[in-house]
Structure 1
């Protein structure tokens, strides 16, 4: 009689996925592509929205577009020969991201509508527990945060805002059904969003008032359609696009990074773009008092400048007013300024920017807790931000950031993403090769990088007299140049290719058997996870 076959007991796996990527913008999509290239297929991308694109999915306000040439606003390994304009509109950028998802087969890894509310490192299990808004918890050996720089829309702390009886529209959550025709509209904020948005609203509204706290430097935008013959040439001769991309990247690097990072050392040169913008403003606005209001009181490069051919000119229209008096409060029917003037409005547009990912607030609401009680919100609140190559911290093992302190060189977002892709896959591959259960950058290496970066930051334009009145988000609450990396893109790329593994501590420990997740059911395939 044959012996009865006993069923072999399979132990519960230590984690649901090897890697969890948080965010499906350029950072998340790029990281997913990097993992696939490294033959790491056990990963998911958790995205709280119902589509990919990150900021390009959220921002659909009128005339939203890239503010750097499209030829440098793309991955070096996935160049798009079909940009129709030098500065592509938002719809084209979203189409490019959708194309990346399809081209690299990322659909099966996407988990849309999955809102991460907490990340907790489990030292015993050597894994991350990632909690979702719907109560479920996923576990992973590694987590990559690709939430970007701009996390949540910032709602201004203005008295009476909740009492307004008209319509309030946040620029990041645009209401496409609202009809501005004949309405009295107001915009609060004069940053990069307003530079694009205000001219379009002026064409639609019956009357528009723009409330400005600080003026922004704006220069002419060399935006023109790209002829089909050029696009055809880019498709047939990819090296041609690579050459032009390299040239444009250098120009952007000089214009943005060169002025901002090295402006203090070559102060006289910063006057060139300053006067160029002033001349452009003079060509658009002949009224002296209006020009004075539109001229920043800080130097060029202290805040991110913008480009537009119509923004300045919009304020010369009879149905558009620029208001520079401080806002005292929002009333049920409009806005009252400090001079006592009531500004009646029907619709209020908030173009007041975002909360930054390197501030404590986002992590108070969505905690990130690491080894030995480390809490990222407390760290950002009480300490100078440090992150090795802008990617990892000693207290967060098996955790990486696409955009951390000192990560962005400023010339191209995609350079930063590709550098992070390179570092993360290199470290994970090395950890697998060593059989390590966890890996974290050493305190010594982290401090060494911080000293290198902070020393360079002291010599940036940000710490010069010209930037005293800028209130730039480039500078964090501790006075560090934390939002940007004060080096060239070449330096950051070169560093990402030469990461010494001696800068990391690899641990191999016996995991405590996986615990049941407090009755939380695993994510079922039927609901997209």
Structure 2
């Protein structure tokens, strides 16, 4: 169904990104009867992070029954925490099931987008120099999509192999090599045990330790998979149980830290007990113990990461890197560590390069990136900004809800459904959130986050991507999964103006 407007654009909707956020948006627009959709993806295939990342040990860190669309369950997960390859296949399945692949264009990176006020449409530029127009623009570029490479002195002169986890070399064998890994975030937690099995020596460079809790992971037997397939209600129950446990951790331990400090301390005690049980050496345990409160930085699950430091050929290095030499890493303490291969598990540029992922200029010449950095990061209901008509930004400040990304995606799908239903009811083609509604939402979430661990706990040493460069924890929406869904289904439609 075509969408009317002053000038007929090339597409009714352009969605930037073919990860799970972009797939969810595509599904919702097709449900609304919109077929003139272009899904532009800079990579050569769909799946987002599950296409880009394929390092050894890659797996979900949220149980698979929860880390998936509630309306499209997969009864055939091989494990409770499915390996990354299965998430990639699940993305392919979703794209096939909802007929999304014919809308996709790969190896097409969007470089900029400009709102054309006279024609009421977006002009979108890509890296091949082409320009296309659309009535509605949706950014679904993901929260962790811009890999960060540290600027170590001598990095270019290093004579060994350098591999970033987001650009993994599947053909590289670490057998017999002296390997260094930089980073101890969730990626390194999965990767360290895998490399430790192959390398002659492994040195893990840690800037900030991470809270690690036990991982209740196990294969899902084929009979159970068949039950999930034949009686979908059983998988919905499993999802509910898992979601409830995650909600208790997130809501009571993190978002309501001020009121339920004992819940946060309980989670920390579990992580400390896990560390004591897994690591024999007292000095190593001390170095692996975070000095910040549980929840300031996203915790992770593992039964093998901490235990790897018991191996004689695995060492933990907490001194900062001063420089690289052709065959070694030199720390600020002057220690020289000979290295054959360097693995960068250094994460992503979240706030600098991802908000937004490309230049977006709205009504009156407002540049989204400049506006966010000068006036606080903000987005009404985590999806819309004033003076950016017909723009839906799925990876925005205060949009991430719960511990499963699919909570965020499905809430935003609900928001889109209601918003475009109102557009049609009013026979309108343009929407824009009001300045007042945006300001009130920002004030509301800021007040609610005042009870969180981010502002009541000790997060000074966390170096967490939850915090932006202004020290604000502007990523998470301070609501439970149920509250988020309810808010998305009930936000005042008059918070937008329509024309």
Q: Give the TM-score, by structure 2 length.
A: 0.97
Question: Which residue pairs with 1:308 in the alignment?
Answer: 302
Equivalent residue, structure 2, for 1:381 = 373
What's 2:224 paired with? 230
- 1:155 matched to 2:149? The reply is yes
1:109–1:83 Cα change, 3 Å: same
Does the 8 Å contact 1:360/1:377 carry over to 2? no
Question: Take 2:424 and 2:276, find their aligned partners in 1: how far apart are those partners?
Answer: 61
Partner of 2:135, secondary structure, is: strand
Q: Paired residue for 2:201?
A: 207
> Is structure 2 residue 255 aligned with structure 1 residue 261?
yes
SS at match of 1:95: helix
Deviations 1:177-196 (A, max 9, x none): 11211111100000000000
Contact 2:402 2:479 in 1 (8 A): no
Q: 1:105: Cα distance to partner? A: 1.0
C-alpha contact 2:418 2:489 (8 A) present in aligned 1: no
Cα shift at 1:458: 1.3
Any gaps of 5 or more consecutive residues in structure 2? none
Distance 1:493 1:119, change over 3 A: same
- The structural deviation recorded for 1:245 is 0.8
Q: 5+ residue gaps in structure 1?
A: 1-10, 508-529
Residue 438 of structure 2 corresponds to residue 446 of structure 1: yes
CA distance in 1: counterparts of 2:14 and 2:329, whole angstroms: 45
Match of 1:110 in 2: 104
- Matched residue SS, 1:454: helix
**SS of the counterpart of 2:54?**
coil
1:116-163 Cα shifts (integer Å, max 9, x gaps): 111111111110011010011110000011011112100113222222
Task: Please report the TM-score for the alignment, with normalisation by the length of structure 1.
Answer: 0.91
Any idea what the Cα deviations from partners look like across 1:87-137, whole Å, max 9, x if unmatched? 000000011110001111112111111111111111111100110100111
Pairing 1:351-362 to 2, within 5 Å after superposition: 351-356=345-350, 359-362=351-354
Provide the C-alpha distance between the structure 1 equivalents of 2:363 and 2:323, rounded to a whole number of angstroms: 45
2: CA distance, partners of 1:42 / 1:320: 54
Q: Structure 1 residue 73: deviation in Å?
A: 0.4
Structure 1 residue 12: deviation in Å?
Answer: 11
Aligned length: 495
Poorly superposed stretches of 4+, deviation over 4 Å: 362-365
Question: Residue 199 and residue 50 in structure 1: after superposition, are their counterparts in 2 closer, same or farther (change >3 A)?
Answer: same
**Hey, what does 1:519 align to over in structure 2?**
none
The whole-number CA distance in structure 1 between the counterparts of 2:458 and 2:41 is 40
Q: Is the 1:70–1:87 Cα contact (8 Å) retained in structure 2?
A: yes
Tell me which residue corresponds to 1:485.
Answer: 477
**Superposed CA offset, 1:419-440 (max 9, x none):** 1111123223322332323210
CA distance in 1, matches of 2:194, 2:123: 45
Alpha-carbon distance in 1 for matches of 2:225, 2:115: 48
Larger radius of gyration: 1
Give me the whole-angstrom Cα distance separating, in 1, the residues matched to 2:375 and 2:150: 26
1:501 aligns with 2:479: no
Distance 1:129 1:103, change over 3 A: same
